[in-house]
Each structure stands twice: as structure tokens, then as C-alpha cells.
Structure 1
Amino acid sequence: MKKLAIVAAGGPAPGINSVIGAATIRACLSGVPVLGIQDGFKWLSEGDISHVVPLTIEDTSRIHFRGGSYIGISRANPTRSPEHLQRTIDALERLDVGMLITIGGDGTATLAHIISEKTRGKLRVVHVPKTIDNDIDLPDDTSTFGFQTARHVGVEIVKNLMVDAKTTSRWYFVIAQGRKAGHLALGIGKAVGATNTVIPEEFARGCPVPLSHVADLLAGSVIKRLGYGRPDGIVLLAEGLADCINPEDLARYTELPRDHMGNIHVAEINLGEVLEKVVKERLASLGLKATLISKYIGYEVRCADPIPFDMDYTRDLGHAAARYIIEGGTEAMVAMVHGRFQPVSFQDMKDPATGRPRVRMVDIDSDRYQIARSYMLRLKREDFDKPEELARFAAAAHLTPEAFREQFFHLVKDEPTNPDGRVG
């Protein structure tokens, strides 16, 4: 019987070991031998088949408690050249692999599809979606595995920062991972009751935005908080915001890392430090001084031990992936919707415009986002409509109400004045 190989690629996420363990157990009970491909596609793409380990029930039955990856992981991408892709396929054939389970994000899903097409059905391929960004377009708002654990651990970190902020009268600008979407930043910010949370989806209709606009948005939170007598606060910021800000503005404050094609590497931009500096400058222009500290959350949450939700969820995913592929399934992503396994074909995952898997963004028109937004302490349209509130915040900024309106009303000018308080 052909072997089943399991490979984890991309960045770590809590729950990888649960998928590996459950898939291995399901396959072994069906009499299918299982191989663990070490370090992602790093070695296979070089034609090296020595970095492979047999997986057994005894080896994997208790690995689901721990974070990280039992078989390692890497971002090596065999599609970077036809030669590397062919070496990968040849290596799998030499290993007598007839079934491949890939664990990864949208990039790995694309790679899985390419391998499936290239082998013309000889190699069955099933993908298990993994990313703490939660941005793979799964059905019915189903989270990607690892997201709930990452949020949980992130919340614990930010809870401590909130106590520190209040104790020391300072502000923390916390940057949460999320290349394109703001799910993790919003999930942490909403759960802890952060002073403000800013995500890229807010600016989707007007991207790119001036850096000064984002600076005013954050300065507005500091000023509003001061108006209520508090010199401290916590802001959650999605790293994908860097992609929404005018790059020429960013370039005045930091070097923009680019790849060989000239594309900006968002994750490598020191967004927190840039915003810390520009907001300090904005406040100083008003005669205000605040202690601002930037903090990044990403590596701390990627390899955390999974919480029970993700242990349960990922064991379902691993079992379903192995069962589906052993029974003849292929070219699909595994999804669990309302407790039921649902395969999503690689073709259905594609965005016709890009040819890559669709990215799931935060729906800013949803009640879940609107409720989160209603609790944020940021300048709102109603603050400018109430003379007593306008006077309060203007005084905190050392401005007249008229001058305050002139400098900050641009933040809310497009905000609808709905009777139920919803914002766009």
C-alpha cells in the first residue's frame, strides 16, 4: 500500500501536533504507513529524502498537548523554480508516497494544489488550513486552527500590559500579527476591552491613507482619554496596517524592506516604532506629552500549547483529513462546520482575480465588529455634535473648540449619524 506523508509548512500555529497525531492514528488504524516530512519542503525540494521519519500511534498519541511541530516546519517553497518542484515530486515518488496531507496557510494551499495538478492524480493531496491570522476563507466564519489559542495567549499578555499601563500612566501600542486582515488584533482587543483597536479593513475603501490620519486617530484616543482624566491606555494594531499607509509617508520614518520584485515586506516594518514616534510628535505639537511604548505580539503566541478548543478542533481536522484521503479524496481543504466535515475543493478556494486562495477579511459591517467599535475610546461624530464633549476634549488638547474641530473632524466626517450608533 502507498504511504501517507504529512508535512507542515509556513509559520507555526498552535495545534499542528494535534493534526499530525490524529491523522497518524487514523491512518495506522487503517493499515496505512505514515511518514513525517521534516522541516517542511526544505529537503524534498533539494531531492533529499533522508529527513523523513516514520510516524506511529506510539510516537504521536500524546503530542497534541504541546505547541510547535513534532516534524519541524519551514517556509521553503518548491514552486520557486520548476527544478525544485520536480525534485519534490520525484522525492515523494521515491518515498513511495501516494497520499500527502499538507498543513499550512494560503501559500501552502496553493503549493498543495500545484503538486496535485502536476502529478495528474497519481498523488492524492489534502490540505489542513493553519494560520493564527484567521484569514483563510473558511465556511460560516469557521476559524483557522491556532487562532483561538493565539488570541487566548495574546489576551493574557495584554491583560498584564493594561495593569502596567494604568500603574505607570503610559500607553502601549500593541502590534498583533496579521499580514492582511485584522482578526487577531480585533480578537485580542475586543476580549480585553482595549482602549482602541485599529485594523486595515477600516481603510479598505480609502487605501492608502496618509500616516498623519492614523497618527491623528491614535492621538485622538489619547486626548479623549485625557479628557476623562486618564493618562493611560492600550491600543491594538494589526501589522497589516502598514500596507494601508502611504509608503512615502512611512519612508520618512523607517527603511522599507522590499523583496527582489520591489514589494514591501509588511511584517518587517517597525510599525509600532513608527507610530510611537509620529504620535509623540503630533501630541507635542499640541503641547502634550505622553509615554508611548510599542510592543509586538507574534512569536510569543505561535508555538504556545493549544487550548482545549484547538486541541479538540485540530484532532477533528487531522482525523477527517486522513479519513478523506484514505477513502480516495483529493484536491480539497479540510473544514469542520457545525461539527460536520466539509471538504472545500482547491478550485472553490481560489480568488478568480489572483488565482490564489481568497483572503478572509474582518467584516466591518457585522454586528460583531460594530459592537467592538462601540466600546472603543476614539473620537466619534457625536463628540463634535455635543458642545460639552467638544469643549472637554478641546481643553485636553489645549485648543479652542473651533480649532479642535478644524484639526480632528476629518477623522469622523464620513461617519454616518445612524440612530442606533452604527459606524461605517
Structure 2
Amino acid sequence: MSLFPKRTAILVGGGPAPGINSVIGAATIRAILSGSEVIGIQDGFKWIMRGDISHVIPLTIESVSRIHFRGGSHIGISRDNPTKDEKFLENTVSSLLRLNVDKLITIGGDDTAYSAFRVEQVANGRVRVAHVPKTIDNDLDLPGTISTFGFQTARHLGVEIVKNIMTDAKTTSRWYFVVTMGRKAGHLALGIGKACGATLTLIPEEFGNKKIKLKRIVDILVGAIIKRMSYGRQDGVAILAEGLLEKLDPNDFELLMNVEKDAHDNIRLAEISFGEILKRRVQDRLAEFGLKTTIVAKNIGYELRCADPIPFDMEYCRDLGFMAAKFLFDGGSGALISIQDGRFVPMMLKKKIDPKTKRMKIRMVDVKSEYYHVAYRYMIRLKAEDFDDPHELAKYAATAGVGLDEFRKQFEYLVDDSEVEHIGDDGIAHEKVEAAPAKKATKGH
């Protein structure tokens, strides 16, 4: 028998998300009640992948019993990637064994999930691993409408911010371009925009698998501004998912040339002033029509990541933390922890890893769903039906100070050249969105 008791370790990787501390607290309490010591590995994989085991703290029931109310991470976080080098993976496993750890709970997104998968492989039964899926992007491959933890809090607080921005926009007769987090998928942007009733929301999924020109995004925004002006409104709020940047044609990527990448080779999108770039391009494009409007670029994301979790995420994350510990003490390993219909369902990591990307499979917004269709119908933007209605089109052309043919030449490609299939009012996916029966009802948004 070992002179030293076996330990359970918890670490957090990736970016912050509301609810991390709820997972840590619940998992710690459950493990201690099962007779295990618990340690928190500070700063994710940063130290242990280099063989440094000095950055750990003991976790006790007393120290974690109230941390579920708070945002951030009680044990820190980092994006350091142990899968970059086999030596880092070996160091990680040997560090855990030196710490007498035989159970590891990782908390993180797709990159951390892959790291957990590889650590479990290299450990080869010596360390059991469970992964708790975390991201405010809501893009991990969970079934149905199950949220990743942190998403609901981020959306809730994002809505509060945008609600105030919308009031400011109307009061001051200006436009806001609000860029939200969402590296690959537009769940957070759409969730905020739909709940707020923002003027329009642009997400990468609406452009399918193809790359797009920056001009296309600019013209969608310009078209929306012109359409809004034709209704007598000088204000609006556009919600833009940061993942639109990764949809850009490579020829437009010169603006990204000197941007730093993280340890998982992801471009640090938050360091790109996407809103400011669009603001300048849109104002230049409007000037071609003799139009001018005040535009304010606003980034929201860091304000959401370390917020105190709302009750939904507090409860949800405590369930996840409890079940992660229980799963390991019941002899399980190598699974992503999920709660489905109120029941614990372990999802094996090896089945969730995309063999091409070496990351967890990504869940995208389904633009053929009624969920997206409702959001799209409420948006103020140029749509296929606008080019079939001479009266409406004449208003837009007059606002832009050009003839009908010229307006078509400038903007009709946005709806004619689209590969996106939107759901029409008959509930069927179409290349173009069919006209809505009550088209004018959206003017006041």
C-alpha cells in the first residue's frame, strides 16, 4: 500500500467562462466525500507540461464551498498546449504521477478536450481523466439544444449590454457595430441579437463553407443602413460574430498578417479591431452615395467571460462537477461529461475528436432551422423580396441617390450570389427567402 494517499486533480484550460468555480467546487466536495485529497493545478497545463509541480494548491470543502457564486477561476487558467510536443505530454503525465494523482478533471473547450484525450492516452490507465465542456461560444458537439456551460450567462449579460446600446443608438441617431466572441460559430452573436431584437446579426454560418470578401460584409451593412434610412431611421445596431474574420478570402487577410496566435494556433481574434475596420469601410462606401452616418464600434466578450454565473449556470455547473468526480470514482475514464434530459451521459472523447482538426467537433448554427429563420425574418437588411418589389426598391434607390438599375447593380449580388439556404415562410429551405406576408412590420425595430 502506498504511503501517500491518491489524489484527484482539477485544472482549467482555454479562456474563462462563467461557472468554472461551480464545477471546481462541486467536483472537490464530491471527491473529498469519496475519501480523496483534491488539489487544484494552477494555470492549466502551463507548469506541469514543463515538469514543474510546484504550482498546485490544496482544495478543501471549506475553501470551495461558496466559490460557485463567483466568476473567474479559483485555480487560474491558461492556453498552454501539451499536445504540441510528445515531451510535454510525457511531462504532464509524469508530473501528475509525481503529485500522486490518479484522477484528473479538466475543464475547457475544444483544445483542452483534445489535450485531455491525449493525456489519457499517454497515461494508459495510470490516470483516469474526465473532461467538463466549457465555452461561452456554445460550439462544442453536445446533442440537441444542450448549452455549453457559461453560454447562458454570457448571453444574458450580453443582452443587458446591447439593450443599453440600442437605447443609446436611438437616442443619438447613430449606428453601433457590436462584435461578439464566437471563433467558429455564431451561437452567442445570434443568441444576443435575437433576444435583443437587434437590427441585424451576421454569423459565419450564413455564408456556408465558402470564403467571402470583406466587401460583401461591408455591403450587407451598407444595404441595411440604406434600408433603415429609407424608413426614416438613422440608428441601428448590428451584432457581428468575430468568426466572420476567419471566413474572409485569403486575399483580404493582409489585415491579419501581424496578429499573434495562441498556443493552439488560433488567431487572437480579439486583438483585431474588426469593428473599427468595418466602420471605416462602411463609412467610405456610404460616402460613394453621398450618405453619412455616425458609427461606433464596440467589442463585447471580455466583459462576459469572468462574470458571476446566473442561477442556470450555477446549478448546471455544479451538476457537471459532481458527475465528473462520480464518473472517475466509479471507475470511468476518457469521457466528456454531459447532462441530458436531467440524466448524466458520459460521451467518450475518442468519438468526439475530429481526426482532421485534432480538436473536438464543432457545433454550428443550423441556418435551415426555424430558430435561425425567425431571427432572419426580423432583421432589417436587403433580402431577395426587396428586389422583387419595385415600390420598396425605389425607396432604397432614392435614399442612395441612384437609379433602380444602379441600385440592383450595386447590391443585388448579395441575394443572387448567396449559397445560403434560408427557410422560407412555408417552412421549406430555399436558395432565396420568400417574401413575408407582413413585410412592413419590421420597420420599427
- TM-score higher than 0.5: yes
Cα deviation digits, residues 246-278 of structure 1 (max 9, x gap): 232342x56552659998554432211111111
* Contact 2:150–2:309, Cα closer than 8 Å, also in 1: yes
- C-alpha displacement of 1:82: 2.5
2:318 counterpart letter in structure 1: R
* Contact 1:174–1:295, Cα closer than 8 Å, also in 2: yes
Q: Secondary structure at the match of 1:221?
A: helix
1:11 pairs with 2:8: no
Residue pairs, 1:203-352, within 5 angstroms: 203-205=207-209, 207-251=210-254, 255-257=257-259, 259=261, 265-352=268-355
* Contact 2:44–2:76, Cα closer than 8 Å, also in 1: yes
- C-alpha displacement of 1:412: 1.2
- C-alpha displacement of 1:352: 3.6
- Number of matched residues? 422
> Mean Cα displacement is larger for which, 377-386 or 301-310?
377-386
* Contact 1:254–1:270, Cα closer than 8 Å, also in 2: no
In structure 2, how many angstroms separate the alpha carbons of the residues matched to 1:418 and 1:370? 8
Residue pairs, 1:117-128, within 5 angstroms: 117-128=121-132
* Contact 2:338–2:347, Cα closer than 8 Å, also in 1: yes
* Contact 2:275–2:297, Cα closer than 8 Å, also in 1: yes
Change (3 A) 1:147 1:409: same
* Contact 1:182–1:201, Cα closer than 8 Å, also in 2: yes
**Which residue number in structure 2 is paired with residue 135 of structure 1?**
139
* Contact 2:368–2:422, Cα closer than 8 Å, also in 1: no
In structure 2, how many angstroms separate the alpha carbons of the residues matched to 1:325 and 1:168? 56
In structure 2, how many angstroms separate the alpha carbons of the residues matched to 1:255 and 1:46? 30
**Which residue number in structure 2 is paired with residue 391 of structure 1?**
394
Q: Secondary structure at the match of 1:12?
A: coil
In structure 2, how many angstroms separate the alpha carbons of the residues matched to 1:7 and 1:208? 37
What do you get for the CA RMSD once the two structures are aligned?
1.9
In structure 2, how many angstroms separate the alpha carbons of the residues matched to 1:231 and 1:324? 56
2:407 corresponds, among 388, 404, 416, to: 404
2:114 corresponds, among 110, 117, 132, to: 110
TM-score (norm 2): 0.91
In structure 2, how many angstroms separate the alpha carbons of the residues matched to 1:271 and 1:391? 32
* Contact 1:370–1:423, Cα closer than 8 Å, also in 2: no
Q: Secondary structure at the match of 2:132?
A: strand
- C-alpha displacement of 1:213: 1.2
In structure 2, stretches of 5+ residues that fail to align are: 432-445
In structure 2, how many angstroms separate the alpha carbons of the residues matched to 1:419 and 1:42? 52
- C-alpha displacement of 1:321: 0.5
Q: Secondary structure at the match of 2:11?
A: strand
In structure 2, how many angstroms separate the alpha carbons of the residues matched to 1:256 and 1:395? 42
2:165 corresponds, among 142, 155, 161, to: 161
* Contact 1:23–1:319, Cα closer than 8 Å, also in 2: yes
1:53 corresponds, among 51, 57, 65, to: 57
Cα deviation digits, residues 287-336 of structure 1 (max 9, x gap): 10011111111110000000000001000000010101111010000011
In structure 1, how many angstroms separate the alpha carbons of the residues matched to 2:113 and 2:256? 33
**Which residue number in structure 2 is paired with residue 181 of structure 1?**
185
Which aligned segments of 4 or more residues in structure 1 are displaced greater than 6 angstroms?
260-263
Change (3 A) 1:99 1:204: same
Cα deviation digits, residues 211-242 of structure 1 (max 9, x gap): 11111101011001001110000000000101
In structure 1, stretches of 5+ residues that fail to align are: none
- C-alpha displacement of 1:2: 1.7
Change (3 A) 1:313 1:416: closer
1:202 pairs with 2:187: no
In structure 2, how many angstroms separate the alpha carbons of the residues matched to 1:142 and 1:184? 14
**Which residue number in structure 1 is paired with residue 436 of structure 2?**
none
- C-alpha displacement of 1:356: 2.4
Change (3 A) 1:11 1:163: same
Q: Secondary structure at the match of 2:354?
A: coil
2:343 counterpart letter in structure 1: R
In structure 1, how many angstroms separate the alpha carbons of the residues matched to 2:182 and 2:318? 25
Change (3 A) 1:161 1:60: same
